[in-house]
Amino acid sequence: MPDNVSRTVFVLLHGGRHGGWCWQRVARRLRAAGHEVYTPTLTGLGERSHLNGPHIGLDTHIKDLVSVFEYEDVDDAVLVAHSYGGIVATAAMEEIAERVRVMVYVDALMPRSGESLFSIIGPAAAQARIDRAQTDGEGWFIAPTDASYWGVADQDDIAWVNSKTTPQPIKTYRDAVASADRAWEHPAMFIECRPSAMEPLTNPRERAKVDVDFHYHVLNAAHDVMITAPDELTELLLRARGLVSTGQDSPRR
């Protein structure tokens, strides 16, 4: 470990149709700085795509994340969630809140109790995904899309991302978060990636901007910022280690 470094545990959670693989560049930088890093992959995605099926829902993914904390004895962690991963991380906090120091939402969905991904992004965007599942996904999954959708521009990176992305079970988008209350017990950072074509993220971005207990940052980077701008993202994650709550009531509740 480098001199004068306080070791921190980071848990980096990917978004929809991605896997732990997408965090390779950031994880490498954090480990080089002396930190412990976990990059779990949710059931049915990435290297666990052979487990995919219509039965995979939000509860499955919540249990995936909770199990990482329990079986790896993770404690006092910086929990980082990207995109759809924000839904999973928020819900999982009902079981792992005591093990988390700081929450970081990276261009992520930020649910309240009773909300699903579909209810957050709105009926038009939700219906587009349902239609795509009916057309290209046997009615139960959303097929991968070209990496350019997530703002990846480098041709080698596009080819790499396209070779890794996997179908997303639509049940994970339909299922609602039972409770989001405990996620708001911790200081939190929201990182907005701009410009971004991810219009469904407008709602969570606006929520974070008005929340007195969020440290809000903007990166001039693609939605898949961990791939296109790993240095800038790593710098913000290292800064997140020292966040403290403002101690004010939060409208997130």
Give catalytic residues, as residue numbers. Answer: 83
Q: Within the chain, how many helices (H) and strands (E) appear?
A: 10, 8
Tell me the two tokens of residue 53.
């099926």
- For residue 47, give the DSSP letter: G
Phi, psi angle pair for 250, to nearest 5°: -110, 130
- For residue 199, give the DSSP letter: G
Residues 78, 11: contact at Cβ < 8 Å? yes
78 Cβ contact list (under 8 Å, min separation 6): 8, 9, 10, 11, 100, 101, 102, 104, 237, 240, 241
H-type helices in 97-224, by residue range?
Answer: 117-121, 123-136, 155-164, 171-174, 202-210
Residue 217, phi-psi category: left (phi > 0), alpha (psi -120 to 50), beta (remainder): beta
3-state SS assignment for residue 211: coil
Please give the helix or strand (H or E) that residue 216 lies within, else none. Answer: strand 214-219
